[in-house]
Amino acid sequence: MSQPSNHPDYTQGSTLNYTMEQLRLAGFEKTQCSLSSDYRQELNVEKGAITLLRSGSDRELYLSGIIDQKKASLSINDLSHDSIDSAVAELLLMAKGSEADDAYTIAPAQPTGVFSAGPQQADLEAMYGSLKTFLTYLKQNHPSIVMTECSLDYTRIHSRMVNSNGIDFTETRGNYNGSLMFNAKNDNDITSLNYTGFTTFTLDKPFHQFGSIEQLLRSSEAEFRAQPLPAKFTGDLIITPDAMDDFIGFLVGSVTDAPLIANSSLYKDKLHEAVTSPCLTLKSLPLDSTMPNGYPFTSDGFKAENLTLLSNGVLESFLLTDYGARKTGLKKAVNEGGCMVLEPGEQTLADIISSTQEGVILGRLSGGAPADKGDFSGVAKNSYYIKDGQIQFPLTETMISGNMATILRNIVAVSKDVVDFGDSRYPWLRSAKVNFS
């Protein structure tokens, strides 16, 4: 039988109790600490063969304290008492040197919560079998694919959060994560790199059927015949699930603390108003049992709930933390985002393509972040040209320019086909009146 000191709960409890006491003795009036222990086992592929199994673990202690309405926070990996004592002393200096803010506080007392999700240990045999079968599948079905990087890991995170108001949350979460980077190569040509990934609780289907792997493998092979646009035009943009985060991410990022506190958000006065096409319903579902990257409590110490961000285009909530809510006078969100799900539509992807007179299927957008108001320009990677309802050919580097908010308002079709990445679920979207050159 293992000794009590080796048990994660025992070790975390002892460390957190000591840290909280030292923070109190240092004079902090409000404190919050969290301790996470990560364990990872990873298989890697190199030159078409499984070459490496490695294991690793890490621990991180997060400390946060408020004194005279001045706040500071930091993280350390060394959990010795000497290291914690030094961190507390440094934290006190940081806090005293910062500006006071009446909005600083910590989460109120809530019932203790102990949560668990996903497999609590790796199935190494299943991991090895999944990758081995995938490599065989590649040779037989996609011989021109060159796998630059490929890995499959199991990660288990045990975390505990406490604060001086008495909250005490613990979670153990395990999942599998796949990651790939690849292109296609033949005797005469080589295509641009493509990449994707997924996360899952179970390895219950072939590796290539997770996320968008199969679609992207086919796309890479098709890029041998890539061509430039025939001419500049304004037409339809079909956003693939792999490119979705650039567009959804603009909206989500615009309703968080920083832009709302700075009063720079395009959506600052739009709560409960239509901000996108009525085709769009967007939810953040951290408590969904099928979301391996979910979370039961937020980083500022509140139990999480599922949230509807957009309902038929209407902005139903901002994504404000407790601090952001206090600074703006607006309502705190019931979670901190992530685990995004765009509700599917009624049309098949094939129908959406066939009804497109002229447009581009966007596989990936390469470019800088959009401006606060949404203006952007970027290069379409791994993308296709559509004319008269038919995919004509893959595109060499093609520029896209427009406005993120306008594109979201101009969505005219949502596919019923969906890609499940594990940490998000997205359909294809079609938006009108986008500029291509």
- Dihedral, 87, 92, 95, 96 alpha carbons, nearest 10: -150
* Token pair of 400 as six digits: 């896209």
87 backbone dihedrals φ, ψ, rounded to 5°: -65, -40
CA distance 412 to 433: 11
CA distance 243 to 113: 36
> Is residue 317 within 8 Å of residue 290, measured between CB atoms?
no
325 backbone dihedrals φ, ψ, rounded to 5°: -65, -40
Rounded to 5°, the CA angle 225-347-393 comes to: 10
Amino acid 48: pLDDT: 84
CA distance 97 to 340: 38
Query: Can you give the three-state secondary structure of the chain, one letter per residue?
Result: CCCHHHCHHHHHHHHHHHHHHHHHHCCCCEEEEEEEEEEEEEEEEECCEEEEEEEEEEEEEEEEEEECCEEEEEEECCCCHHHHHHHHHHHHHHHHCCCCCCCCCCCCCCCCEEEEECCCCCCHHHHHHHHHHHHHHHHHHCCCEEEEEEEEEEEEEEEEEEECCCCEEEEEEEEEEEEEEEEEECCCCECCCEEEEEEECCCCCCHHHCCCHHHHHHHHHHHHHCECCCCCEEEEEEECHHHHHHHHHHHHHHCEHHHHHCCCCCCCCCCCCECCCCCCCEEECCCCCCCCCCCCECCCCCECCCEEEEECCEECCCECCHHHHHHHCCCCCCCCCCCEEECCCCECHHHHHHCCCEEEEECEEECCCCCCCCEEEEEEECCEEEECCEEEEEECCEEEEEEHHHHHHCEEEEEEEEEECCCEEEEEEEEEEEEEC
pLDDT in tens, the chain (437 residues): 223 334 555 566 799 999 999 999 999 999 999 999 999 999 999 888 898 788 999 999 999 999 999 999 999 999 999 999 999 999 999 999 999 999 999 999 999 999 999 999 999 999 999 999 999 999 999 999 999 999 999 999 999 999 999 999 999 999 999 999 999 998 888 888 899 999 999 999 999 999 999 999 999 998 888 899 999 999 999 999 999 999 999 999 999 999 999 999 999 999 999 999 999 999 999 999 999 999 999 999 999 999 999 999 999 999 999 999 999 999 999 999 999 999 999 999 999 999 999 999 999 998 888 888 999 999 999 999 999 999 999 998 899 999 999 999 999 999 999 999 999 999 999 999 999 99
> Is residue 14 within 8 Å of residue 37, measured between CB atoms?
no
Amino acid 190: pLDDT: 87
> Is residue 313 within 8 Å of residue 279, measured between CB atoms?
yes
> CA separation (Å) from 305 to 209, 271, 295, 315, 384?
30, 19, 9, 17, 39
Whole-prediction pTM value? 0.92
User: What are 401-428's pLDDT values in tens digits?
Assistant: 999 999 999 999 999 999 999 999 999 9
60 backbone dihedrals φ, ψ, rounded to 5°: -140, 130
CA distance 149 to 146: 9
Q: Work out whether strand 168-184 and strand 340-342 pair parallel, antiparallel, or are unpaired.
A: unpaired
CA distance 183 to 263: 43
Q: How far apart are the first and last CA of the chain?
A: 68
Amino acid 4: pLDDT: 33
Q: What is the largest CA-CA distance in the chain?
A: 73
Amino acid 2: pLDDT: 29
User: What are 232-252's pLDDT values in tens digits?
Assistant: 999 999 999 999 999 999 999
